Amino acid sequence: MSSEDATAPSDPAGDGAGDAAATDHENALQDVIAVDPDDVAQGTVNRLDAHTGDGIRHRAFTCLVFDTEGRILLAQRAPNKRLWDGHWDGTVASHPVEGQSQEDATEQRLEEELGISPGQYDDLRVTDKFEYKRYYPNEGVEWEVCAVLKVTLDDTSLDPDEEEIGGMLWADYDHLHENPALYRQLRLCPWFEIAMRRDFS
């Protein structure tokens, strides 16, 4: 992991701003897996607690979804998301629950968020892992040991959940990486930007 993958901006928003409004959020009813820097489980913590204040390091994943032409599916996070709402992800990101593998968690989220069933692919695999910490002004923080998974769709039929996905587009993956300025208006999620940079390094 490069040093920039673990750095945070100078405005950490760690003063709890917005915490009171967040206490009724659905994430307050869920747990995530706290981990050490080597991704060794340290028990479970409340998901909202893990994403507020200075955060708690926890296990996560992001899955990059491709078609057979090498294009990546970018999915816009719905406007009701507490963190990075309206930003574009490549393609889904979430957290496994206790006792769940990264592959099983990814398979579940692909189906729940995008309507992608296991019958549409046969190559889901973990390709990388990194730790990072990023603050979202006045709302919270992501401090994750994030596994990167990839999958190629033989069938690109999609049925997105509007509560999760605001928009979708297919982009040439090489072009996206080589020309970030052309895609700046999309506001890419930080974990996806890190995963993509590491993928081409």
Feature table: binding site for Mn(2+): 51, 58, 95, 142, 144
Does residue 91 have a cis peptide bond before it, meaning omega lies within 30 degrees of 0?
yes
Using left for φ > 0, alpha for ψ between -120 and 50, and beta otherwise, residue 162 falls in: alpha
3-state secondary structure (DSSP) of residue 11: coil
Residues contacting 153, CB < 8 A, separation 6+:
65, 66, 67, 68, 73, 116, 120, 121
Annotated binding-site positions for Mg(2+): 113
In whole angstroms, what is the distance from residue 8 CA to residue 4 CA? 8
Give the phi and the psi of residue 197 in degrees, each rounded to 5: -60, -45
| Alpha helix positions (H), the chain | 19-22, 47-50, 102-114, 173-178, 190-199
Q: Is 111 annotated in the active site? A: no
Q: Which entry of 107, 131, 139, 144 is annotated as an active-site residue?
A: 144
Active site residues: 144
